[in-house]
Structure formats: structure tokens, C-alpha cells
Chains A and B, each alone.
Chain A
Amino acid sequence: MSKKTPQTTETKQPTFVEELLKNGTAVLTAKTRDELAEMVNDIPANVKYGVGAVGFNPDAGVFTIRVDISND
């Protein structure tokens, strides 16, 4: 009988949050501005961060925002 893989209730952090925590900075990319706003909202509440202005890269057709861990 094959062993059942234990289920975990822990939610994995989005990749950009991992990158943010590791490097202190991350550039978030999304197809729409709303999607980008949702991504910013996914940053854990205990992380103090600062954001830049939402930009648009016409070559890639994506919206971007830079997030930095705050030094305050």
C-alpha cells in the first residue's frame, strides 16, 4: 500500500514575497493594474514595505510596481 502524502494546511508564500524577504526588493509584474494591487495586498501584514509608482512596460505589455522592505 502506498503511503499517503500528509496534507499540509500551511499556505505557501507567493514567489515575489519570498524574493522580497530575501533580497529586500522585488519588482511585481501583472497583466492588469487590479491584479498588481491584489499582489501588493498579499504581502504579509508584518512586513513593512514601501512601493513605487505603478509603471507600464509597453514592450512586454505588463504593469509593474517595485516594492522595497522599509528601513523605518
Chain B
Amino acid sequence: MILKGQNFRILVYDTTASKFKCVGMATSCQITQGTNTDDGGTKDDVGMAAKPVVVSQNWSVQVESLNVSDAGAMLTAIKSLTPFTLLWDEVSTTDNQTPEEAAFARTGTAYLNDLTLTFNDRENSAKSLQFAGSGPLSTVSTTPAFEAISAGSYTKGQFVRLFLSSDNTAAPVAVIAAARQLSIHVSMQLESATTKDTPGTWEVQEPVALNYDITTQALVRGNDTITSAVGAKSYADIQTIKETGNPVKWKICNVSGDNQRTAGAVIVSGSVVITQLQTNNPNKANSDYTATLTGYGAYTVGA
């Protein structure tokens, strides 16, 4: 029988519970195992064909999920530069969770090196995790310590919004008006730390830098009163911030109220510089703009 994707899962070791747990509400996962080769061709070889010789191996894992309830924990994890222990395995068809110790099951240590959280209007929010393996992959011969996860919750994108200030001293209290899309992307730059001391062929990675950016898309509003009425940021305000070029404070929070503009618990906050602003104005369609905000210094998770 051909294995179905729902029975091939990524599990992350929970150091508090000392057990592996599936990435909750996952929709897909991808595992890449790569090799680096040197050209081993010499004059001794007859013919013109290349002769790649394996010199090192690397691996990476990508997981997509609809669970953003752990957004704060993930943002903390990538910032703290600590590696995770991952396991991938075939899981039981009865619960899509219990590891089966398949022949292809592997476990290893990896850094969370790329995290994207997406909060789009009237869509389920999503999380994309990318892990870069550091060190060897091991086969799984005994049943791993495992704990089932409980049902997760859907987060609708309109209930999470971006707020900005006008400078880097004031609090970010103005919501992006008429916003449709929002995503925050954090990437950790890794550098190979493989040396002659490293056993085997597996590459070892070491974190060296952290960058993040926020992208928001909103409709362009004309000269109406929304800005003064609700303290929101319009296209014109974003344009002014962009042209001034100074950092401004931001926060992404849970929101409530009739128009989803009342800020609640803060998920993450910090300072940014707006590095790109683009407006699209097709005929017989709403004008919109997309702003890219590049992180300035460290972000703060939570309240």
C-alpha cells in the first residue's frame, strides 16, 4: 500500500514532557536530504563523464500547519537559537499520530531557521516552519517516547492585526486600516561549523544572525476620515513613514470589537524600518498596497 501524507509526520521533542509530539494541525511536510560532492574525475578516468564523490551530507525539514496558537513559543524558540530534536516516521492510521518505527524513520538535531506566520483576512491563519539539520540523522530502532497531542484551534486571520507608531518612541496604537494580509517572517542565518573534528559526513551548523520582516497588504483609502476617526494608518501614513526612513514601533496582537480594531494580548512587538512600499491599481479593481517592514533590533514576544 502506498503511504498517504497524513501518515508521514514530523514530531518534535518536547523537553518539558521528555516526549516526542506531532506538529499539530500539520497540512504538509517535506524532508530534503542533500549531499555535497567534489569532482573526483582525474586523468586516469577514460571518457568525458563527471565523477562526483560524496564529501558531506545535510538535511532539512519543512512543515506547514494551521496551528498558530504556539506563535509566541515559536518566535521565542527561533530567537533563542536553541536546536530541536526532530523525528519523522510513519504514524498509525488509527490516530495519525503514533510512530510506527518505519524503516525510513530518522531522528536528529535541527535548528528552526525559518518561521513564517500568516494572518490573512477571512482565512485560517497558518504557520510554516523550516528546520536545518545540524549533525547526523539516526535510524529509529526502538519505540520513541511519544505523547499524543490534543485537538488544536483555528485562528481566523482578521483577529490578528498589525499596529504601528509614527516614530520609535511612541507606542504602536494605530492599526493598519483596511488590511487584508499580514505575515511575519523570521529567518536565522546559519553557517557551517563543520571541521576536521566533526565525525562522519554530516554537516554541523551554527547560528550567526537573525533577521525578520513583516509584510502587510491593505486597500488604499481616499481622503476620508478613517485616520483621525479610529487612529488607523492609511496608505498616506505608511508613505510618510517610508519616506522619512526612521524606525517605528510595531506590534502584532489579538484584536476584538466590531471592526477588529481594539488591541488585545500582544503576540509580538518591536521596531521596523519600512523598506518597500508598492501600490497596485488595476482597471476596474480595488487599489491596494503592499508594505515590507524590515525588523530593527530584537523583537519582544508577548505582553
Q: Which A positions have Cβ atoms within 8 angstroms of B? A: 23-25, 27, 33-34, 37, 40, 43, 48-60, 62-68, 70-72
Contact = CB atoms under 8 A, between A and B. Distances in A.
Contact of B265 (A23, A37, A58, A72): A37
Contacts of B159: 33, 53-54
Given A27-B69, A56-B156, A65-B69, A70 B301 contact: yes
A70 B154 CA distance: 23
B77 to A, nearest CB: 9
B211 interface: no
Interface in B61-118: 67-73, 75-76, 80
A40 B72 CA distance: 14
Contacts of A57: 151-154
Contacts of A33: 159, 254, 256, 264
Contact of A50 (B73, B151, B156, B254): B73
Nearest to B153: A55
Most buried by B among A33, A54, A62: A54
A57 B302 CA distance: 22
A25 B300 CA distance: 18
B290 interface: no
18 contacts: A34-B256, A37-B254, A50-B301, A52-B69, A52-B70, A52-B73, A53-B159, A54-B159, A55-B153, A55-B155, A57-B151, A57-B154, A65-B69, A65-B265, A66-B69, A66-B70, A66-B72, A72-B300
B125 interface: yes
Interface in B139-157: 151-156
Main secondary structure of the interface of B (DSSP, over half): mixed
Nearest to A59: B151
A52 B267 contact: yes
Given A57-B151, A59-B151, 18 more contacts: A23-B16, A33-B254, A37-B264, A43-B303, A50-B303, A51-B72, A51-B254, A53-B69, A53-B119, A53-B254, A54-B155, A55-B69, A62-B153, A66-B70, A68-B70, A68-B76, A70-B76, A72-B301
Contacts of B153: 55-57, 62-64
A18 to B, nearest CB: 15
A1 B256 CA distance: 55
A52 B80 CA distance: 17
Contacts of B69: 27, 52-53, 55, 64-66
Contacts of A72: 76, 300-301
Nearest to A66: B69
A21 to B, nearest CB: 13
